[in-house]
Structure 1
Amino acid sequence: MRTLGIIGFGGFGQFMVKHLQPYISVTVHDLTDLSHIAAEKDVTWGTLKETASKDIVILAVPVQFLESVLIDIKDYLIHGALVADVSSVKVKPISLMLKHLPETVDIIGTHPLFGPQSGKNGVKGLNMVICPVRSKKTRAIMHFFSNVLQLNVLERTPETHDKQMAYVQALTHFIGRSINEMDIPDVEQKTPAYQYLLDIKRNLGGDSMDLFLTIELENPYAKKVREEFMDALKNLDDRLENVKR
């Protein structure tokens, strides 16, 4: 596997280049002309066809746009190519890849549980979820993640992944987005617990709305968790209002 194409050159696509470029020839593409950023990062900018015609193709686009991208690239993929997504949810993307991609290509679902902010000091030891779908290259990919990038690789089914992410991501990002929109202040009179809230605001507040919508709306288990959280808040508030003073 000598060539890699990354379709989607936003924040995470650019973040990936830094960690993958030392090991493989990388070509990138995006609907927006970001060729100047590609040049700054010394990576090749290609057309959609050129980028999709590589040995490995990584789809780094929001889930909302994934199906149209799959339809656009399916005829460009070479025989035996490996196609992987990096979406924050797994049930829907994997279903779409199986639906639209030819049987002549391998498919793996992945979810790096980190991003440009949490991985700014390096990715060693961070979690990476792998959902094997249809590939003879799964073990080689897991070896690369584990032994070269030194990630902590977790093999999961798409359903198990999304059920856990409904709490790990959907709940966390729901709280983080709320705190960010409240714009809670950084004050001198703060406890370690309050600093945790400020850290959540800093870590999640800069995430794109596309990512937030993917996490909250594309995970089939997220709505139930949000509802449980809102019910718990209301019940707690009701208890406070009913305390006799």
Structure 2
Amino acid sequence: MSQVAIVGYGRFGRALGSLLEAAGIGYRALDPVADIPEAHRANSFQELVAGTELIVVAVPVPRMQAVLENLLPHLRPEQLVLDVGSVKVKPVHALNAVLGTRVPWVGTHPLFGPLSLAMAERPLRVVVCPNPLHPNAARQARAFFERLGCEIIEQTPEGHDRIMAHTHALTFFVAKGMLDAGSGVDVPFAPASFKALSRTIETIRADAGHLFAAIQHDNPFAAEARSHLLGALGAIHQELEAIPPEAEAPETPHLELPALETGLPELTETRELIDQVDRELVELLARRAELARRALQAKAQAGQPVPDPAREEAMVASRRAWAAERGLDPEGVEAIFRAVLRFSRRAQHTKG
């Protein structure tokens, strides 16, 4: 694939462009209100799609049908059109209504965004919705995203939106409520149980209004999911209010853990938690390796030398200080980070 066309150069369109460049795939983009680099800018639909095999429509769901109608006169039957919306029922309906059997199309949802790409989170996953009208479309979409380093999940539009309503939409709904209520804002500490939700709150801040509105209003199953959640929370609230203040706290079921041969369930639990932390460390190392490769590319483009001893020594010094603040051995932490730096140097010259 030599060239991809992107209709819409908002936050995700730009992020997709960076993925294409990293994969060595050329692209052109069209967006009347976005600042597109001149090397990638198209000035009309005709210029955009000329010589391209794949067209990515990255516009808000309410605008999709109108954009497809403007795009249709310039498309050829051998091209493939796909959308990248965070909901699927409505985009697939628009694709079918406008393109039908005339031009191959497929609905997709990359389960990542600009923030997760900036933080080098892996793996990158994409939902692809097979299209009975164009049986090869899903296969072509799969090959395209796999070339970008993505893992593929196949799902129907309705199945996708139901799952997203009870996961993505509800998570953002709860996080938005906590954000508006001022929960966890500018606190000097927070329990570990809050950290994952705190990350979602920061994503809400970054995507203010745009992504939140899309996953709530454009998903036909989101309102039902919100209603069920509010009903469950209301019932829990009433149950808690009904407990007299002087009453003992009600017992809660305990999580049963399998005992080891030693008969020490605490040891089993601790070992499982260590395994969980180690898995998280490996995932963080994978993200750091990707960021190291990105830094190498940036240095090469800027003509800067790759080795930077002063920067590395400053990093080590700051990590020693962090260790001291947490009551850890600075010498031991320094040894770990010097090993991480050696790992990162090797990772810069290997493909992720």
TM-score normalised according to structure 1 size = 0.89
Aligned to 1:189: 189
Query: CA separation in 2, counterparts of 1:123 and 1:231?
Result: 34
**Distance in 2, Cα, partners of 1:33 & 1:201:** 26
Distance 1:64 1:211 in 2: 13
Unaligned runs of 5+ in 2: 246-352
When structure 1 is superposed on structure 2, of 178-187 and 167-176 the one drifting more is 178-187
Aligned partners of 1:234 and 1:160: how far apart in 2? 28
Amino acid at match of 2:19: H
State the Cα RMSD in Å. 1.9
Mapped contact 1:58–1:85 kept (Cα < 8 A): yes
2:175 paired residue number: 176
Q: In 1, are the aligned partners of 2:83 and 2:108 still within 8 Å (CA)?
A: yes
Q: Aligned residue for 2:62?
A: 64
For 1:157, the aligned partner's letter is T
Instruction: Report if the CA contact (8 A) 1:123-1:151 is conserved.
Output: no
**Alignment: residue pair count:** 240
Of 121, 127, 132, the residue aligned with 1:129 is: 127
Give 1 or 2 for the bigger CA radius of gyration: 2
Aligned positions of 1:112-127 closer than 5 A: 112-122=110-120, 124-127=122-125
Task: Say if 2:41 is the partner of 1:44.
Answer: yes
**In structure 2, C-alpha distance between the alignment counterparts of 1:2 and 1:77, rounded to whole Å:** 17
Give the whole-Å Cα distance in 2 for the aligned partners of 1:107 and 1:232: 40
Give the SS at the match of 1:152. Answer: strand
* Deviation at residue 101 of structure 1 after TM alignment: 1.3
Shift of 1:125: 1.5
Residue aligning to 1:30: 31
* Separation in 1, partners of 2:82, 2:137: 11
**Larger strand proportion of the pair:** 1
What is the CA–CA distance in structure 2 between the aligned matches of 1:190 and 1:124, rounded to whole Å? Answer: 26
Aligned to 1:235: 235
Q: Which range moved further: 105-114 or 121-130?
A: 121-130
Cα distance change, pair 52–183 in 1 and its aligned pair in 2 (3 A): farther
Classify 1:208/1:10 alpha carbon distance in 2 versus 1 (closer, same or farther; 3 Å): farther
Find 1:83's aligned residue among 58, 61, 81: 81
Q: Which amino acid in structure 1 is aligned with residue 119 of structure 2? A: N
Structure 2 counterpart of 1:19:
19
Q: Residue type of the partner of 1:85? A: D
What TM-score do you get using the length of structure 2 for normalisation?
A: 0.64
1:223 maps to 223
Compared CA separation, residues 33 and 218, structure 1 to 2 (3 A): closer
Q: Deviations over 1:55-91 (max 9, x none)?
A: 2110101101111111111111123110000011111
Structure 1 unaligned residues grouped into runs of 5+: none
Structure with the bigger percentage of helix: 2
Higher relative CO (CA 8 A, sep ≥ 6), structure 1 or 2? 1
Counterparts of residues 90-129 of structure 1 (less than 5 Å)? 90-101=88-99, 103-122=101-120, 124-129=122-127
Counterpart secondary structure, 1:27? strand
CA shift in 2, pair 1:144/1:84, >3 Å = closer
- Between the aligned residues of both structures, percent identity stands at 30
Distance in 1 (CA, whole Å) between partners of 2:58 and 2:239 is 45
- Does the residue aligned with 1:4 lie in a helix, a strand or coil? strand
Q: 1:89 touches 1:161 (CA, 8 Å); kept in 2? A: yes
The letter for the 1-side match of 2:150 is L
